[in-house]
């Protein structure tokens, strides 16, 4: 059985400001750096052997911190990037026009082919996440990889492994530096292939005040 750990990057400046990132980027905040060191401690205890990360700055920085404690290399894979948010990237959620909010809502409310103009659909995101995940099956027997990616990207992956549509990810809150685990297995009791063991574990992080918690 192969266990793969999924980590969303540490809190960024634009997460804190509620600005849409997508393929755009902003640096980790001081809190995000601390979260990354905390998830790195957990990764070391888990015996992570490989790190595969989205090539955006926020995920690379988180991966670098994890790699430093785990003593392993980082493989960058652009297929692990966040959903391309098209023309709404860099925009603050509170400043969207009614039309722009309508584009965003069609993603949130799960219109199958919904996309923000110039951006990706949730299904296109899920397809590239599965293609990136498949590379873990080629690692040497006994490997324990950790994927460092993004909230919507990881949510799409978990949702589709559960047999839900990609847009179901909007009902799964994956906080900064949360850990999820998926297993590739052939149990007599479960469906063969990928199964979700845990999703959104934050027990390794400082308990944030409830009003600080945001996606
Ligand atoms: O702002 C975004 O693009 C997403 O909602 C969150 O993306 P992140 O997981 O890369 O912060």
Instruction: List b or e across 85-104, with b for residues whose CB sees 16 or more CB atoms inside 10 angstroms.
Output: bbebbebeeeebeeebeebb
The CB of 26 under 6 Å from ligand 1? The reply is no
pLDDT for 208 equals 66
pLDDT for 211 equals 55
pLDDT for 214 equals 55
Is residue 23 part of the annotated active site? The answer reads no
The CB of 119 under 6 Å from ligand 1? The reply is no
Q: Probe ligand 1: pick from 20, 92, 107, max atoms within 8 Å of CB? A: 20
Q: What ipTM was reported for this prediction?
A: 0.95
CA of 11 to the centre of ligand 1 (A): 10
Low-confidence ranges of the chain (pLDDT < 70): 112, 208-215
HSE of 96 in the Cβ direction (CA atoms, 13 Å)?
20
The span from the CA of 120 to the CA of 194, in Å, is 24
């Amino acid at each position: 059985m192969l266990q793969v750990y999924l980590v969303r990057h540490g809190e960024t400046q634009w997460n804190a400001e509620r600005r849409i990132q997508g393929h755009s980027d902003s640096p980790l905040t001081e809190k995000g750096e601390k979260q990354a060191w905390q998830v790195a401690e957990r990764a070391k205890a888990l015996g992570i052997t490989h790190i595969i990360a989205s090539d955006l700055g926020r995920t690379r920085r988180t991966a670098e911190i994890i790699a430093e404690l785990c003593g392993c290399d980082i493989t960058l894979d652009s297929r692990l990037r966040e959903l391309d948010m098209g023309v709404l990237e860099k925009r603050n959620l509170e400043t969207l026009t009614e039309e722009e909010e309508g584009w965003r809502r069609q993603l949130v409310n799960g219109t199958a082919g919904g996309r923000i103009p110039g951006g990706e659909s949730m299904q296109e995101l899920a397809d590239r996440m599965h293609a990136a995940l498949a590379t873990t099956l080629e690692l040497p027997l006994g490997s324990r990889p950790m994927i460092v990616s993004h909230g919507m990207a990881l949510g799409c992956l978990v949702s589709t492994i559960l047999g839900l549509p990609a847009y179901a990810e909007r009902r799964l809150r994956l906080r900064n530096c949360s850990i999820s685990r998926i297993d590739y297995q052939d149990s007599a009791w479960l469906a063969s292939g990928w199964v979700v063991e845990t999703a959104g574990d934050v027990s390794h992080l400082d308990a944030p005040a409830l009003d600080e918690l945001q996606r």
